[in-house]
Chain A
Amino acid sequence: MTDRRAEPQPVAAPIWKRDFPYEAAAEEEVTRREFARFLVAGAGALALGNVGLAAWTQLRTINEGEPRAIVDAATVEVGSTYLFRYPTDADPAVLLRISDSDVVAFSQKCTHLGCVVYYEADEHRWHCPCHEGNFEAETGEVISGPPLRPLGRIDVEIRDDGMIWALGRSAA
C-alpha cells in the first residue's frame, strides 16, 4: 500500500509562463543565502580595495618639484596673474603678484573635481566655474562652494636676479 500524501504533487505553471514560454539557458533560482553570500563577497572585495588604497596612499611619493625659475618678475604686474606648469608639464599652476615683493602661487586644479580655477580680480579670489567654488586669493583656503580642501600651494619667491622662482609644492 502506498502513501498518497507523500507523493509530490505537480505544480501548475503560472499563466504567464504558458503564454510566454521563454526560458534563458542559465535561468535558475538564487536563494537568499546565496544572494547574501554574493553581497558579503562584494563587501570583502571592497574592504580589500580600501586596504589597498590606504597602503597606496601611505607608500606613494608625490613629486614636490625642484626649484626652478618661472618668469621674470618685471613682466608680471601687481594684481595680475601668470600661468605656468609645475612641478611637471601636466600640472597647471598659476601665480598672483600681490605686491612688489609678494607673490603667491597655487595649483590651478580645483580640489573639488579638478576643473581649472582662475583669478577674479574684482572679488580678489580664485574661482572655479564648474561648480562655483571660491578660494581665498592669498592663502587658497576655501571661501564657498563644494570644495572641502584648499588649493595646492606652490612656494614661490622673488630672488635678487629679478626672477620668480618656484621652490616646491606644499601639502594641500
Chain B
Amino acid sequence: MRVSERGRRSSSAVLIYVIILMAMQVFLVTVAAEAFLADEAGLAWATAIVSVVLFAAAASFLRYLRP
C-alpha cells in the first residue's frame, strides 16, 4: 500500500500527540502521589479524572493512525 507524504506526516503527528499525552500521564502520576501523601482526596480525584480523559483522547487518536 502506498502512503502519501501527507498521510505519513499526519501519522507522525498523531504519534507525537500520543507520546505527549503519555508524558502528561506520567506527570499526573506524580501529582496523584503527592495528593496521596498530603491526604488531599479532592486533588487525587481531579487528577484521576484528567488522567482518564487523557487516556480516552490518546485512545481516540489511534483511529487516525495508519497501520
A residues lining the B interface (CB < 8 Å): 31-33, 35-37, 39-40, 42-44, 46-47, 49-51, 53-54, 56-58, 62, 111, 149, 171-172
Contact = CB atoms under 8 A, between A and B. Distances in A.
Interface in B2-32: 11-12, 14-15, 18-19, 21-22, 25-26, 28-29, 32
Interface in B31-45: 32-33, 35-36, 38-41, 44-45
Contacts of A172: 38-39
Contact of A43 (B14, B54, B65): B54
Contacts of B22: 39-40, 42-43
Interface secondary structure of B, over-half rule: helix
B47 A35 contact: no
16 contacts: A31-B67, A32-B15, A36-B15, A36-B18, A39-B58, A40-B62, A42-B25, A43-B25, A43-B55, A43-B58, A47-B25, A51-B48, A53-B48, A54-B41, A56-B36, A62-B39
B46 to A, nearest CB: 8
A6 to B, nearest CB: 15
Interface string B47-67: 110011011001101100111
